Amino acid sequence: MLRINSLEKLVHQLSRLPGIGPKTAQRLAYQILRQPELSQSLQEALVSVREQVHLCERCFSYTDEAEICRYCADASRRDDVLCVVEEPSDIVRVDGSGVFRGRFHVLHGAISPLDSVGPDDLKIAELWQRIDRAQAAGKPIEEVILALDPDLEGDTTVLYLAKVLHERGIKATRIASGVPLGSDIDFVDDRTLGRALENRVEL
């Protein structure tokens, strides 16, 4: 059996991260070896994340708060507008635009039949439950903004969600011009994303 030494294991694990190829992983591994303090700090950060970070019980973003994240705990935000995103990191991008002051909901992915990812594999059932709870509490959600990536999976998810939202009598909008076709929301600058939110269109 081929034995993989510690350095090779580190390179292999780093190369599993999105956007990190074998060469970049090797450079990172050697940089960690050259800086012992970096290795210790990285280890402590990884342990801290594993032990303290969990999903927010309300929007399903990541948080190290007791139960809900800082976005859900912010009383100054509007309760009648909900922005649906694919990943927790998208919240930072949308909030950074400075335009949106409502609530968030994270799906943790998008519908992708080719990858066997359906509505039941995402936080879509939780979205409907959240909308129902708001309605029962007398604080109905008036609009749901679908801030999903403009790719095949994002479009499929938007069509599915918009159909159900229309059936429920809830206004569904999607971020509009400003976000390049085929790009990820992670790589759009704040000004462009803010313009897209301001010029969103009803579906």
- The C-alpha atoms of residue 49 and residue 56 are separated, in whole angstroms, by 14
Beta strands, E only, 51-184: 54-55, 62-63, 81-85, 103-106, 143-146, 171-174
Q: How far apart are alpha carbons 153 and 113 in whole angstroms?
A: 9
Is-contact 108 60, C-beta < 8 A? yes
Share of the chain above pLDDT 70, in %: 94
Taking residues 70-79, report their average pLDDT.
95
Determine the pLDDT at residue 198: 74
Strands 143-146 and 103-106: unpaired
Among residues 63, 146, 61, 62, which one has the least CA distance to residue 110?
A: 146
**What average pLDDT score do residues 113-117 get?**
93
Asked if residue 91 has pLDDT above 90, the reply is yes
How confident is the model over 143-189, as pLDDT tens digits?
999 999 888 899 999 999 999 999 999 999 998 756 666 677 777 77
Q: What is the pTM of this model?
A: 0.78
The CATH code of the domain at 77-202 is 3.40.1360.10
Please check the confidence at residue 7 and state whether its pLDDT lies above 80: yes
Phi-psi region of 190 (alpha: psi -120 to 50; beta: other; left: phi over 0): alpha
* Token duo for residue 169: 């009598």
Segments making up each domain of the chain, as ranges: 6-50, 77-202
Query: Contact 141/78 with Cβ under 8 angstroms?
Result: no
Question: If you classify domain 6-50 with CATH, what class do you get?
Answer: mainly alpha
User: What's the token pair of residue 159?
Assistant: 């069509």
Q: What is the CA radius of gyration of the chain?
A: 20
CA 126/CA 132 separation, integer angstroms = 10
Nearest to 189 by CA among 88, 93, 92, 85: 93
Q: Left if phi > 0, otherwise alpha if psi is -120 to 50, otherwise beta: which for 182?
A: left
